[in-house]
Amino acid sequence: MKPISHILETGLYADDLDAAERFYGDVLGLEKVTRAGNRHVFFRCGEGMLLIFNPAESVKPPGNPAMPVPVHGAKGEGHMCFAATAEEIAAMKTRLEASNIAIEADFHWPGGGRSIYVRDPAGNSIEFAEPRIWGFGTETDTGIETT
């Protein structure tokens, strides 16, 4: 069997979708694909999707029988990591600091590669890292817009 090639979507949870939408859309520059009231807001990131759910809403059964997505949810702070080149990390750090987002950690891994960590408005740990921290090649197009 061929191994799975990549993650299609990643989900995080936030009680305040307005704050999450501002952080991921305005601060990080991700393209918003859709928002469904106070239930979720979805963003495109390269060839993947970042799904932000309100946990109080995603535990409710869907109202549309044509979309039989199981209820789900999480409580507490999650983590996700965006792939970024060294140049994109430097530009993102500048962008985050200009938006008064505190950099929680900024370091170079012993095996090579750099990561920076911040918290989104819901307290999720958001990392920007060079793919080589996991032994992946250096990609030039990471899907993170840093301008």
Amino acid making up residue 95:
R
pLDDT interval class at 2 (50, 70, 90):
confident
What is the number of alpha carbons within 13 Å of residue 66 lying toward its C-beta? 0
CATH, domain 9-63+73-134, list 3.40.1710.10, 2.30.30.50, 2.60.120.260, 3.10.180.10: 3.10.180.10
Nearest to 56 by CA among 32, 79, 75: 75
Q: In the chain, what are the domain boundaries?
A: 9-63+73-134
Alpha carbons within 13 A on the beta-carbon side of 91: 11
SS3 72: coil
From 106, 143, 102, select the one nearest 121 (Cα to Cα).
Answer: 102
Beta strand ranges found along the chain (DSSP E): 9-13, 31-36, 40-45, 48-53, 79-83, 105-108, 114-119, 125-129
Measured from the Cβ of residue 29, the count of other Cβ atoms closer than 10 Å reads 14
- First-to-final CA distance of the chain: 41
Is the predicted pLDDT of residue 17 greater than 50, yes or no? yes
Q: How confident is the model at residue 23 (pLDDT cuts 50, 70, 90)?
A: very high
- In three-state form (DSSP H/G/I as H, E/B as E, the rest C), the secondary structure along 34-59 is EEECCCEEEEEECCEEEEEECHHHHC
Best mean pLDDT range from 17-21, 108-112, 134-138 = 17-21
In tens, the pLDDT along 43-73 reads 999 999 999 999 999 998 877 788 788 888 8
- Dig out the tokens for 92 from the structure: 């993102």
